[in-house]
Amino acid sequence: MRVCSDGRVSDVIDSRAVSESDPAALRAVAVTVALEAAAHVRRRRAELFGSARPLGGEGNAVQTKSTDTDPVTIADTESEDLIRSRLGQLRPGDGFLGEESGGSHGAGEGGVGEAGVQWVVDPIDGTVNFVYGIPAYAVSVAARIGGVSVAGAVVDVASGDLYSAAAGLGATCTDADGGVTTLRCTPVSDLGLALVATGFSYSAERRAIQGRLVAELLPRVRDIRRMGAAALDLCMVASGRVDAHYEHGLNPWDWAAGALIASEAGAEVRLPTGFGDHGEIMTAAASGVADEFAAVLAEIGAAGPVPA
């Protein structure tokens, strides 16, 4: 599958997508592998948990990573393996950075392939939601050149919505029925009327600070939303379902695709310089409130890193 110039998804990848590194070609690949992985995740959710919320005793399906509240499932690793394999077929020699398996062609964030392309992948963003059966989890696939995202796709697994963008070519959402919407942020110009999305760390120490910051921010905005999947939060900024998003301690796979989609939809985006352990802030806001939002974040002490 590929994204056509009008945002529609075709059944055949343009042959140039396997050899060229222009944003449109890379977008086509991102869409293809993200949709395939999302279909796998959707099927495995039903196989692993059915309609029930797991209350323990789920065997080897769920394990933990950084803390006891940070889960990883067999579906996460399967999805990442699928994406890595498909990218190896479609874009042999490109670099890879995945949440579960790390990088290739040079370990860490800087690993790139022969064409200077690195794929940054979150196989399931919102794993807690996935485990609990909350319909807010996604597959995120981005292509970066020189450390900058130039193409990306985020699939909302439960709804089937496909968000995608390419640098300089705009952002679209293709729904499960094939309808295409060009994404634009809201025209909101008063921060007091802005709906703001955020998320919290798995570190108890960082969460305590984040909680205090939310308490400071809440009286200054319309309301706060916490969906539990940063990639979807960023796509919601792009689609106008929220007006801004901020979060401390995100990793590149959390925002590589979503931040590009938000930016191409008109959001003003501020990215961290490294991995999440530095606790830097990532923001995306509709242009009409971006400056005021940044000023308020600075005023309440949220603009700098939040230690773990």
- Residues 5-10: contacts with CB under 8 Å, at least 24 apart: 6/180, 7/164, 7/172, 7/174, 7/180, 7/181, 7/182, 8/174, 8/178, 8/180, 9/35, 9/162, 9/174, 9/178
The domain ranges of the chain are 2-182, 191-299
Span 34-80, pLDDT tens digits: 999 999 999 999 988 876 665 554 455 776 666 655 567 899 999 99
112 vs 11: CA distance, rounded Å: 28
Which pair of tokens denotes residue 110? Answer: 């800087």
The pLDDT value given to residue 110: 47
In the predicted model, what is the mean pLDDT of residues 141-146?
97
The answer on pLDDT for 201 being more than 60 is yes
- The reported pTM is 0.89
Q: Provide the residue type at 163 as one letter.
A: Y
Task: Supply the Cα-derived Rg of the chain in whole angstroms.
Answer: 18
CATH number of 2-182: 3.30.540.10
Exposed / middle / buried, residue 132 (Cβ in 10 Å: 0-12, 13-18, 19+): middle
Among 2.102.10.10, 3.40.190.80, 3.30.365.10, 3.40.50.1100, name the CATH number for the domain at 191-299: 3.40.190.80
In the predicted model, what is the mean pLDDT of residues 263-282?
96
Q: Tell me, what DSSP letter sits at residue 54?
A: P
Answer yes or no: are the C-beta atoms of 257 and 140 closer than 8 Å: yes
User: pLDDT-based confidence at 236, cuts 50/70/90?
Assistant: very high
Span 121-134, pLDDT tens digits: 999 999 999 999 99
